[in-house]
Amino acid sequence: MVEPWNFPYYQIMRVFAPNFMVGNPMLLKHASNCPMAAEAFEKIVIAAGVPEGAFANLYITYDQVNQIIADKRVQGVALTGSERAGQLVAAEAGKNMKQSSLELGGSDPFIVLDDANLSEIKKIISGARLFNAGQVCTSSKRFIVTEKNYEQMLAMLKEAFAAVKLGDPMLSTTTLAPLSSSKAKQNLAQQVRAAVENGATLAFGSLAQNKPAALFEPVILTNITKENPAFYQEFFGPVGQIYRVPDEAAAIRLANDSHYGLSGVVFGGSPEHATEVASQLETGSVFVNSFGGTLPELPFGGVKNSGYGRELGRFGIETFVNKETIVTKHNPINLDDAFGGFV
């Protein structure tokens, strides 16, 4: 398993636990910027008494991942990471005829229908985009709002973004921590600048991003057209995009007009109708009138460039399990019977 830094313990557990239950030993290549988390997890697993060899942390480079995949003792590879990393791992797995599962990025839609309860949305709108400094693949990144509620939703989003307090993540007063690195900040700032240069409106925030180190002030972008490169990009940080659409049919079309398909949110006054809308979205999961993450009993994964395969739930447990068919005959073979008497 090749795992990311943004949830350094949980990401390991969600792959290790189901595979341990079915008897698959696991090798871990963790993100290079959280080696102590990988070491701590290995110590916890050993302390818990799992059999020797059930889990092993490997301090290897990304270049060495291909060598591990190619090893005949390795039967499959699970990756959570960037789209680019997924392409490289999937290619190597395919070349070596190995099973693989990929959980990659997302540009998840947050659809607000005409009859949505805005007071309910207000409770979760900040967390839906800014949780973990917006560095979550399933964050709501594209707010798609019908004409009736657009101005109020834009005002709510601005209010939520203005209320955060940037600072040291170790301080209890901080509500928006830094990004994972200064490089991540530079890349995100460049994405925002490019979006504005190509016609997007900076509705909230600053292009300057003068806060120290990796602190990134929240940004809201509007008027993003399909010709703008930002339209199909994932913004991995506290950047919200809001789109105005005339009706729910247009909202569904816009939500599905994406290279990604990981998760999504639909808010509507009628849960039943909102669920019908959710069923038309091209994603791995949708939350109706709520915003959530993952639960152990529910399968998780995406479609399109968000990857393939599933983690968690029954499907996750079976991802790296051979579904072997065994047919046993207890009576003598009668060649007059169809299929040699097996039926």
Among 137, 217, 234, 248, the active-site one is 137
**Phi and psi at residue 275, in whole multiples of 5°?**
-65, -35
Please say whether the beta carbons of 30 and 12 come within 8 A.
Answer: yes
Among 103, 234, 248, 311, the active-site one is 103
**Phi and psi at residue 78, in whole multiples of 5°?**
-115, 130
String of DSSP letters for 94-107: HHTT-EEEEE----
Assigned token pair, 121? 């949305």
* 318 belongs to the catalytic site: no
Helix axes 118-130, 150-162, angle to 10 degrees: 50
* 120 belongs to the catalytic site: no
Please say whether the beta carbons of 203 and 222 come within 8 A.
Answer: yes
Sheet holding 287-288, edge to edge: 201-204, 219-222, 239-245, 140-146, 108-112, 265-267, 287-288
CA distance 194 to 229: 8
Q: How many CB atoms lie within 10 A of CB 99?
A: 14
Q: How many CB atoms lie within 10 A of CB 310?
A: 20
Give me the active site residues, please: 103, 137
